[in-house]
Structure 1
Amino acid sequence: MARTVYSILDRHLVVATLYVAMKIAEFSFDRVRIPDGIKKQRPLRGIRHARTHLPLRSVLALIGMSRTRYHAWLGKQECGLDDQRCCPRTTPQQLTHEEYLAIRDMVTAGEYRHVPTGTLARLAQRLGIVFASSTTWYRLVRTHNWRRPRQRIHPAKPTVGISATRANEIWHVDTTLIRLLDGSKAYLHAIIDNFSRRVLAWRVNDSFIPSVTAELLIGAFDGSSDKPQLLVDGGVENYNNAVNKLVDSGILKRILAQTEIRHSNSLIESWWRVIKHQWLFLNTLDTVVSVRKLVAFYVEQHNSHLPHSAFKGQTPDELYFGTGDGIPEKLEAAKSQARELRVKTNREWRVLTLKSAKGLGAQQG
């Protein structure tokens, strides 16, 4: 009986104390925002103490706080947040913090400034750094406003053109002009294999020399029994005595784009845009020698190091020589392992976060 009386007296004392404190402070939670998370902890401690004597509903009604607001504050405190909108949501498949940092470092690294973001995602997989889709890379770049160490120019998406089924079936040949700082010109000639996108031969000259095409064709021809179809435009570099002799010898067949066939020579034209806007225009083009060195670097990167999205992670060299057949399967297996490790790491991180949040709440209580 005495214990009951004391319990009732304690309850009335708590009610009276809360009521007097609210009146003296002339404070109400009605339409008042408290942005400081530390200041929220004091009312929460008072509510937690009052709940030992009164129901939560009565305590909240007495101080003028809604249940929704109370539980929102309590949830933020348990997550260790100061004044965030809500607790961060985690999923088992989300990137780990280490993967996030690796993507950020590669996107902002100067050594990869010549690599497009989509190709960079494939390259990270080949290097075993991060196994995430190019869509994820683009989303992170957009969300965090990461700036590539260059000014990017996005060419229009090329239409679907002619497609080969094997290496050395169709070759594309063309010449492009590169303007130097002093107003002079450099001429870049190249031959690209349609099936593998491999640059078979190239040359940079300080003047336009039509006979270069024939010399490049001889250098690209490996003496095999294949008779490539040479897709060209109507330029004089493709229709001259030197090229005519090669065609007449029967080692290749010349086809005039958009005349003898409806397809254009867009594959090599799109590669011109890539090498110019992704690499050449990011450097000082002062001499033909410097242009030649820059082209040599990019061709070697393009052929041997940069995986192509259309080839499921293989490089042009690997597809051309047939040495990368196992690459797609290896990448898929590595992706699966990365997903499993990501789930495990995120679960462990969530458990540690909840434990630390509960420990912090116990200390504050």
Structure 2
Amino acid sequence: MQNQVRRTYHTDVKIAAAIGCLPLNLRKAIPKSTLHGFRSRDHSSCVGAEYSQVLAHSALLREIASCKAALAVASAVIRVVHLVRSLSVTFDSVSRIKSPELRSKVVALVRRLSGTLSRDRILSILGLSRSRFFSWARRNADCRSSPLSLCRRSYPNQLTSKEVRTIKTAFSDPAFAHWPRSSIAWSLVHSGRLSANVATILHYVKRLGLDGMHGVKKKSRKRGSVAAQRPNQAWHLDVTVVTTTNNLKAYVQILIDSFSRRIIAWKASTEISGLHSVDLLRSAFSQLAEAPQKSVSLIVDGGSENNNRHVEAYLASVPVKKLIARIDVSFSNSMIEAVNKILKYRYLFRKPIPDLEHLHDTVASAVMDYNARPHYALRGLTPDAACQGKVFDEAEYRQRLQLARKQRLLTNQSEPHPCLPWDDTAAEHHEPPAMEKTS
């Protein structure tokens, strides 16, 4: 171990420190304990003190030092006033600045003037609280260890690096290319790969820039439909048109369960008729383990494929009550229309479909994937699971979140290298934060 060199100080330096006339740069270079010793010692009692030129003019030196300090303070205040004027705001509205560029200017000035005025005094002039200033300063110097740009030790509640990598892997997986963001998030929760709130997961997805990979542009509109309380209480039947690349007009007809959103039966053909609707209903009844105790409500539109003698004859032999949307009921058949859009925009329209045979294969694959993916309205349950009667365990889910939060706090607080990038991509796209000089 290398011994430190013991410094010796000129007597005038000691006296200047005692009377408060020591320059700032020299005062910072002296250890605090040594400086305290200089200030607490009475040099006037030393032998030969009457020959000291510094002590002889101590009163004058104190006055000069006081004037210099006052001048420095006045200069600092003037710079603060100039900054506020340049920002085109008043002192009362500095704390409400939204622009990141303007906030950076405020943070930079406070740091520059902190050697002349105390930081708290400057913040008081600007009307800023310490918490708001530190929040602005953190945004000005992002931390590469987290997509949120927040230090893991200072903010241990955030997801760990391992959990963030799990999110990135899942949302970059081609197997989930047709899934919406909420379905992928719920699949992470139900599979046990991640214990976090779905809203938190989606927030990280947005910060990682992965939200555009699973989005579908659509117009928002008010919807209404039957409120089913159990599987097979109500069904929806509808048809949509798909044109293949060889200009073949095909009809894809589907039947879904209102409660579970599960596609029970489907059919793709070049023609549409009531016989196809009967085939779908017959297929749906064949999948039931037992006959329904109450009549199933069948919501259809006014199309000829749903309202004809073939359909009416079959419905007379089964416990089904047909309801025409906007005629027998006030609402539309929007639930199955939404499923049709999912099939087309997330599956069918994402790849070329040359002919009817390829359309059959694509629809079959899409229906299987749709029924097996988590659904947001079902609290992450898949349509298959909900149709089988599975119920989301809210208490167990909350307990998992609490346990994961405790483990996350321990992991982030005990991180040996908290400022390392959370992955290689973060290291490539982020500059290391500048070290702040402290006095």
Same fold (TM over 0.5): yes
Choose from 381, 384, 401 the match for 1:314.
381
Percent identity between matched residues is: 25
2:157 equivalent to 1:93? yes
2:189 equivalent to 1:112? no
SS in 2 for 1:190: strand
Structure 1-normalised TM-score? 0.73
Work out the CA distance in 2 between the residues paired with 1:115 and 1:100.
Answer: 19
Q: Cα 1:6–1:119, aligned 2, differ >3 Å: closer, same or farther?
A: same
Spell out, residue by residue over 1:37-85, the C-alpha distance to the aligned partner (whole angstroms, 9 max, x if none): xxxxxx9xx9863445658x99x98xx963369999xxxxxxxx9x953
Query: What residue identity is the alignment partner of 2:192?
Result: G
Q: Are 2:163 and 2:194, in contact at CA under 8 Å, matched by a contact in 1? A: yes
Choose from 408, 417, 431 the match for 1:342.
408
Q: Are 1:168 and 1:195, in contact at CA under 8 Å, matched by a contact in 2? A: yes
Choose from 55, 66, 80 the match for 2:113.
66
How much has 1:202 moved relative to structure 2?
A: 0.8
Partner of 1:268: 336
Matched pairs, number:
314
Q: Cα 1:231–1:151, aligned 2, differ >3 Å: closer, same or farther?
A: closer
SS in 2 for 1:131: coil
2:357 equivalent to 1:289? yes
> What value does the CA root-mean-square deviation take over the aligned residues?
3.9
SS in 2 for 1:211: helix
Q: Are 1:313 and 1:328, in contact at CA under 8 Å, matched by a contact in 2? A: no
SS in 2 for 1:106: helix
Partner of 2:346: 278
Choose from 325, 329, 332 the match for 2:391.
325
2:229 equivalent to 1:165? yes
Work out the CA distance in 2 between the residues paired with 1:313 and 1:247.
Answer: 34
Q: Are 1:118 and 1:134, in contact at CA under 8 Å, matched by a contact in 2? A: yes
SS in 1 for 2:339: helix
Query: What residue identity is the alignment partner of 1:127?
Result: S
Work out the CA distance in 2 between the residues paired with 1:68 and 1:111.
Answer: 57
Q: Are 2:238 and 2:253, in contact at CA under 8 Å, matched by a contact in 1? A: yes
Query: What residue identity is the alignment partner of 1:252?
Result: V
Work out the CA distance in 2 between the residues paired with 1:212 and 1:69.
Answer: 85
How much has 1:326 moved relative to structure 2?
A: 5.9
Q: Cα 1:50–1:247, aligned 2, differ >3 Å: closer, same or farther?
A: same
How much has 1:301 moved relative to structure 2?
A: 2.2
2:291 equivalent to 1:224? yes
Unaligned runs of 5+ in 1: 20-42, 73-80, 355-360
How much has 1:143 moved relative to structure 2?
A: 3.0
How much has 1:250 moved relative to structure 2?
A: 4.3
Query: What residue identity is the alignment partner of 1:67?
Result: S
How much has 1:123 moved relative to structure 2?
A: 1.0
Equivalent positions of 1:133-152 (< 5 A) are: 133-146=197-210, 148-149=212-213, 152=216
Q: Are 2:237 and 2:254, in contact at CA under 8 Å, matched by a contact in 1? A: yes
Query: What residue identity is the alignment partner of 2:308?
Result: N
SS in 2 for 1:249: coil
Partner of 1:129: 193
Query: What residue identity is the alignment partner of 1:49?
Result: A
Query: What residue identity is the alignment partner of 2:164?
Result: Y
Q: Cα 1:344–1:157, aligned 2, differ >3 Å: closer, same or farther?
A: farther
How much has 1:302 moved relative to structure 2?
A: 2.3
Spell out, residue by residue over 1:92-130, the C-alpha distance to the aligned partner (whole angstroms, 9 max, x if none): 321111111221222232221111011211111112222
Spell out, residue by residue over 1:17-38, the C-alpha distance to the aligned partner (whole angstroms, 9 max, x if none): 989xxxxxxxxxxxxxxxxxxx
Choose from 349, 369, 374 the match for 1:301.
369
Query: What residue identity is the alignment partner of 2:347?
Result: W
Segment drifting more, 184-193 vs 243-252: 243-252
2:105 equivalent to 1:49? no
Segment drifting more, 134-143 vs 100-109: 134-143
Choose from 188, 194, 205 the match for 2:252.
188
Q: Are 1:188 and 1:204, in contact at CA under 8 Å, matched by a contact in 2? A: yes
How much has 1:290 moved relative to structure 2?
A: 2.1
The structure with the largest alpha-carbon Rg is 2
